[in-house]
């Protein structure tokens, strides 16, 4: 199953336009709109949750940290389940993704109804994470199945840009609601719930299921649906997952980078919450151009270049030079995400069997996510035992080594 | 939503066949979406206005002109109004999330509206004239004033700068009113752990309590997943750990004992128990309160501790007292209250 055999349907007519004028499929734009609206909904809650739990309900920071971290690791594994369910019966991507979106939307009502009960809040947060885990792989499979392989980088770029827009708007929306509702947190949950429902509705009304949009339809697809074990025997999937995991294990985690920036440059604590906004804005601007570049050059080069940008960020932090360092590191982090996040899906999509697309993408994402957890934990330990600079130098070395290895392992991902 | 309504964007799967067949605006779907949008918008707006009408959360209220720390007694934060009150008296103080007082000064921590969360620490005199205020990032967490009123300290619980997956981070400030000097974060103080100078990125301080000399202080320091009781010297700018597993120390009026919360269980629902540590021989004993207390206990006199416990209703908290010598039983002192402080004249 390689690009040459599965990437292009022999009956696909030639595209009417090429280059910048080419359209992104409607399903991708609709999915982007769903992600945008959903991210507004979820980031609204994220912005007020600490205040609500600690001040509104009197939870201790310890309990809050426990609740917050409780299901983070589980999300990665739920993705495999979501991917597997979505592939069932020749493509139930829309139904599974929709269930995930709906579960997250309903979790806001759970927060509202839980009142002060910690178990209720924990259940609501668990439902939110479960929904997020379940929907990711079928959503990305839908994007990859409804887009001609040669345009995948751009399609994922558009989707990720819309997604990030939602993430940036969420806290603003929360701020507006708190202002209008005289600091009533429950109003934020209600508005977030309504926004979440709207996202589900856009999905139901405007997204076409993967079955009709590129999967080799019919009962044959059903029989061909590979299990996770069979997927893992697929050499392309193993190579992509291996490379993504290797690189993931060599990344130190965003919060570490922000913390390092703050420590190394002595930033005032007021600036700290703004740092992620800087890199997100950069990601937003670069996601589409990076995706288009990936379509043109093959996806391996931008993916590796993105990690090279991250490596440059590490090195910059080793020789700090004030505000220039701050700006550069944030830009480099944005470049890293723009050139890797959607691009990896665009790289993996066409190489993987259409009938098991969601499950296969879930394997790639889970491998990467678990490796990143390991990487962050390892860096945390290195920081504590060796101090900032040796830990950072070690991380840079590890990333450089992982890059060299990934360059050999990763398929090129060039389609046309 | 503009992306969805754009002609040519919706309802097609991007294949040329569809484009050749001509794209039609999805009328019915757009109508359904429009109606749903209006309904959800209306519902949200209605709820927001209802919440606003109801009074939202606690609005910031200044103290009534008649309210002052002029009488000895137990002062606390009234959960229903969010304002400072005196036991047996009116609810007339300013609105605070955390409150404490000592000597001629009172300290009030308030969460500023909006995101990200910031804490405003306001210094008042006994008549609640606003003297000074400092804004720090994070959620208000602990407030203390030295017995003389010269030193103030507060802890804000910072969200987002914790690098551990499930960790949290605190920032503790100390304000010296004699010099006006503000230490925004005491994390930089040279720390000695078990007699060895200690360096680590994950050092967190919280829950400061001051000694009568307006120089020595006790606090919790947390690093590598463990908490220590630390004794600090502000003038000498040094701190050393005395003992493990001690949080939120509170020094008795005579300076001989420390009340603190000790982690006795890994169950996140009930991890702590109140203890008192004798500073002379460093022996500790548990108090009669067996429930998990997450508060910096306050000495109401030389023999009694006051602290907040979550109310049975699930909302807010109640103020309880318990003898400091380990005898007796906990007693409900003021329902719907927190941040106890005994004001003397």
Q: Is the pLDDT of residue A362 over 50?
A: yes
Nearest CA in chain A to B308: A58
Nearest in space to A127 (alpha carbons), one of A59, A78, A61: A78
Nearest CA in chain B to A212: B13
Contacts of A65 in chain B (CB under 8 A): 162, 166-168
Cβ within 8 Å, pair B160-A272: yes
ipTM, two decimals, is 0.80
Please count the residue pairs, one from chain A and one from chain B, whose beta carbons lie less than 8 angstroms apart.
229
Contacts of A15 in chain B (CB under 8 A): 16
Distance from CA of A201 to the nearest CA of B (A): 7
**pLDDT (tens digit per residue) in A29-81:** 999 999 999 999 999 988 888 777 777 666 666 666 666 666 666 777 888 88
Quick one: tokens of A293? Answer: 């570049």
**pLDDT (tens digit per residue) in A143-201:** 999 999 999 999 999 999 999 999 999 988 998 998 888 778 889 999 999 999 999 99
In B35-150, DSSP assigns E strands to 73-78, 83-86, 91-95, 98-102, 105-112, 118-125, 130-137, 139-145
Distance from CA of A126 to the nearest CA of B (A): 15
- What is the 3 state secondary structure string of B48-67? HHHHHHHCCCCCCCCCCCCC
Backbone angles phi, psi at A379, to 5 degrees: -65, -40
Cβ within 8 Å, pair B161-A262: yes
Nearest CA in chain B to A175: B114
Closest CB from A183, A195, A272 relative to B161: A272
Cα dist. A192→A42, A171, B161 in Å?
A: 7, 11, 25
pTM for the full model? 0.79
Distance from CA of B238 to the nearest CA of A (A): 21
Residue A15 neighbours by CB under 8 Å, 6+ apart: A22, A148, B16
CA A33 to chain centre: 15
Closest CB from A15, A26, A48 relative to B115: A48
Buried b (16+ CB within 10 A) or exposed e, A7-31: beeeeeeeeeeeeeebbbbbbbbbb
**pLDDT (tens digit per residue) in A365-406:** 999 988 988 888 888 788 878 888 899 999 999 999 999 999
pLDDT at A12: 41
Residue linked to tokens 């003389």: B148
Residue linked to tokens 């969460």: B111
Interface test with B, best of A105, A184, A380 (most B CBs within 10 A): A184
DSSP-derived letter for residue B112 is E
Contacts of A14 in chain B (CB under 8 A): 16
Cβ within 8 Å, pair B15-A12: yes
Q: Residues A299, A305, A310, A311: is their CA dihedral positive or negative?
A: positive
How far is residue B320's CA from residue B307's CA, in Å, rounded to a whole number? 6
Contacts of B294 in chain A (CB under 8 A): 58, 60, 62-63
Distance from CA of A378 to the nearest CA of B (A): 11
Cβ within 8 Å, pair B51-A115: no
Residue A239 burial (CB < 10 Å; 0-12/13-18/19+)? Answer: middle
Nearest CA in chain A to B1: A33
Backbone angles phi, psi at B211, to 5 degrees: -85, 170
In tens digits, what is the pLDDT along chain B, a chain of 345 residues?
333 333 333 333 444 444 444 556 788 999 999 999 999 999 999 999 998 888 766 667 888 889 999 999 999 999 888 899 999 988 899 999 999 999 999 999 998 876 677 899 999 999 999 999 999 888 888 999 999 999 999 999 876 543 333 456 788 999 999 999 999 889 889 999 988 899 877 788 999 999 999 999 999 998 877 889 999 999 999 999 999 999 999 999 999 999 999 999 887 778 899 999 999 999 999 999 999 898 999 999 999 999 999 887 666 789 999 999 999 999 999 999 999 999 987
CB neighbours of residue A139 within 10 Å: 30
Rounded to an integer, the average pLDDT of A271-285 is 88
Closest CB from A162, A182, A191 relative to B52: A182
Residue A67 falls in which region: left (phi positive, over 0), alpha (psi -120 to 50) or beta: alpha
Cβ within 8 Å, pair A206-B158: no
Treating both helix axes as pointing N-terminal to C-terminal, what angle do A93-114 and A26-51 enclose, rounded to 10 degrees? 20
């Amino acid at each position: 199953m390689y690009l040459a055999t599965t990437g292009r349907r022999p009956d696909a007519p030639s595209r009417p336009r090429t280059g910048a004028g080419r359209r992104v499929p409607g399903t991708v734009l609709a999915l982007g709109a769903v992600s945008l609206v959903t991210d507004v909904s979820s980031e609204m809650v994220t912005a007020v949750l600490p205040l609500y739990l600690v001040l509104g309900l009197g939870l201790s920071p310890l309990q809050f940290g426990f609740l917050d971290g409780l299901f983070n690791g589980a999300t990665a594994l739920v993705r495999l389940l979501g991917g597997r369910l979505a592939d069932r019966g020749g493509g139930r991507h829309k139904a599974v993704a929709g269930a995930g979106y709906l579960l997250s939307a309903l979790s806001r009502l759970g927060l509202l109804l839980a009142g002060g009960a910690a178990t209720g809040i924990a259940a609501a947060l668990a439902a939110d994470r479960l929904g997020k885990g379940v929907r990711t792989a079928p959503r990305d499979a839908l994007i990859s199945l409804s887009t001609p392989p040669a345009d995948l980088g751009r399609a994922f770029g558009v989707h990720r840009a819309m997604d990030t827009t939602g993430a940036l708007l969420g806290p603003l929306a929360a701020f507006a609601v708190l202002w209008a509702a005289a600091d009533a947190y429950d109003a934020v949950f209600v508005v977030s719930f309504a926004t979440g429902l709207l996202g589900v509705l856009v999905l139901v009304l405007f997204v076409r299921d993967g079955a009709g949009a590129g999967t080799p339809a019919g009962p044959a697809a059903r029989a061909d649906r590979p299990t996770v074990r069979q997927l893992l025997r697929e050499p392309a999937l193993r190579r992509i997952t291996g490379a993504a995991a290797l690189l993931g294990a060599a990344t130190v985690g965003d919060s570490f980078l922000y913390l390092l920036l703050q420590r190394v440059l002595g930033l005032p604590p007021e600036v700290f919450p703004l740092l992620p906004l800087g890199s997100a804005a950069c990601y937003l601007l670069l996601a589409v151009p990076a995706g288009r570049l990936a379509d043109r050059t093959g996806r391996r080069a931008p993916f590796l270049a993105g990690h090279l940008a991250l490596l440059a960020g590490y090195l910059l932090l080793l020789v700090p030079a004030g505000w220039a360092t701050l700006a550069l590191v944030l830009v480099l982090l944005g470049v890293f995400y723009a050139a890797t996040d959607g691009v990896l899906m665009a790289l993996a999509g066409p190489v993987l069997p259409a009938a098991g697309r969601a499950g296969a993408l879930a394997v790639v994402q889970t491998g990467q996510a678990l490796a990143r957890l390991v990487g962050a934990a390892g860096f945390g330990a290195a920081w504590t035992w060796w101090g900032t600079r040796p830990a950072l130098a070690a991380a840079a070395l590890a990333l450089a080594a992982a890059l060299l290895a990934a360059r050999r392992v990763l398929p090129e991902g060039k389609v046309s | 939503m503009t992306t969805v309504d754009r002609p040519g964007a919706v309802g097609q799967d991007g294949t040329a066949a569809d484009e050749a067949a001509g794209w039609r605006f999805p009328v019915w779907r757009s109508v359904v979406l429009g109606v749903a949008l209006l309904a959800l918008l209306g519902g949200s707006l209605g709820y927001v206005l209802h919440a606003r009408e109801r009074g939202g959360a606690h609005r910031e209220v200044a103290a009534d002109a008649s309210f002052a720390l002029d009488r000895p007694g137990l002062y606390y934060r009234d959960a229903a109004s969010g304002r400072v009150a005196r036991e047996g008296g009116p609810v007339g103080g300013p609105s605070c999330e955390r409150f404490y007082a000592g000597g001629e000064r009172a300290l009030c921590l308030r969460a500023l509206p909006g995101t990200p969360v910031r804490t405003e620490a306001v210094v008042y005199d006994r008549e609640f004239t606003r003297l000074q205020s400092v804004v720090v990032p994070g959620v208000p967490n602990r407030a203390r004033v030295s017995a003389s009123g010269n030193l103030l300290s507060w802890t804000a619980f910072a969200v987002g700068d914790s690098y551990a997956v499930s960790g949290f981070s605190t920032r503790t400030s100390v304000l010296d009113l004699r010099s006006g000097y503000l230490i925004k974060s005491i994390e930089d103080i040279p720390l000695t752990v078990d007699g060895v100078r200690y360096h680590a990125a994950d050092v967190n301080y919280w829950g400061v309590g001051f000694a009568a000399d307006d120089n020595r202080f006790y606090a919790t320091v947390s690093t590598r997943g463990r908490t220590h009781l630390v004794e600090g010297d502000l003038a000498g700018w040094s701190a050393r750990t005395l003992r493990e597993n001690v949080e939120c120390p509170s020094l008795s009026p005579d300076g001989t004992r420390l009340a603190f919360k000790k982690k006795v269980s890994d169950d996140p629902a009930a991890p702590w128990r109140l203890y008192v540590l004798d500073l002379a021989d460093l022996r500790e004993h548990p108090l009669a309160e067996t429930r998990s207390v997450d508060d910096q206990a306050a000495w109401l006199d030389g023999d009694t501790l006051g602290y907040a416990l979550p109310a049975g209703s699930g909302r807010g908290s109640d103020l309880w007292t318990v003898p400091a010598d380990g005898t007796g039983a906990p007693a409900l002192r003021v329902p719907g209250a927190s941040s106890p402080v005994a004001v003397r004249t």
